[in-house]
Amino acid sequence: NPIRIPWIKNGKLPVWMAAYGPKALALAGQKADGFILQLADPFLTEWMVRAVRQAATDAGRDPDALTICVAAPAYVGDDLAHARDQCRWFGGMVGNHVADLVEKYGEHSGMVPEELTAYIKNRHGYDYSHHGRAGNPSTDFVPDGIVDRFCLLGPAEAHVEKLRRLRDMGVDQFAVYAMHDARESTIDAYGSDVIPALTS
């Protein structure tokens, strides 16, 4: 049923949807105003954005009318090994969704890219009491390469380069998570170096 708020005239409430699997990606393209992808891997971003936009086209919608948001941890700094350890929790979090996809579709079904599913082969359970925290002990199965692909790490210039690449793939918005020990310095670096480089 429609909800009416008397003081809002001609209002619209955009519906955003997060997705990884084929059915959810299709639904996002068919119905949502915005698509949220929780990872910053260029290959997977391109694959999933293409799937969402194709679903929109197939549903008779303008695929360019969907707003695309990539959300991922960002850690600005030169100590890459430390940054990886601080952001490895994210690979574990995504791994929960990936495990659901593998259970539903199989590891080699072709329905979900193996670039997303292969890394969870050594995953053995997950303790939600450490969810979303640096140092999460349930994420020891997440290899460095996944952290590098899924997150934004390194000096500010590396963030700018990856964000520009994602923008060129059709990403409209970026949401960065600062759930680590360099929260303030990363936010400061985004304000002074990353955002100005992307908006100039």
Looking at residue 126, what is its pLDDT?
84
If one counts every other C-beta atom within 10 angstroms of the C-beta of residue 35, the result is 27
Question: Is the residue at 8 inside a domain?
Answer: no
CATH number at residue 61: 3.20.20.30
How far apart, in whole angstroms, are the C-alpha atoms of residue 50 and residue 89?
27
How far apart, in whole angstroms, are the C-alpha atoms of residue 196 and residue 85?
28
Residue type present at position 123: R
Question: Is the residue at 6 inside a domain?
Answer: no
Domain that residue 138 falls in: 16-199
pLDDT in tens, 122-179: 898 888 888 889 989 999 999 999 999 999 999 999 999 999 999 999 999 999 999 9
Q: Which residues contact 195 (CB under 8 A, 6 or more apart)?
A: none
Question: Is the residue at 11 inside a domain?
Answer: no
Block means of pLDDT (10 residues each) for the chain, length 200 residues?
81 91 96 97 96 98 97 98 97 92 82 89 87 90 97 98 96 96 98 94
Question: Is the residue at 5 inside a domain?
Answer: no
Which pTM value belongs to this model? 0.90
Question: Is the residue at 172 inside a domain?
Answer: yes
Question: Is the residue at 10 inside a domain?
Answer: no
Q: How many domains does the chain have?
A: 1
If one counts every other C-beta atom within 10 angstroms of the C-beta of residue 34, the result is 18
Question: Is the residue at 183 inside a domain?
Answer: yes
Question: Is the residue at 133 inside a domain?
Answer: yes
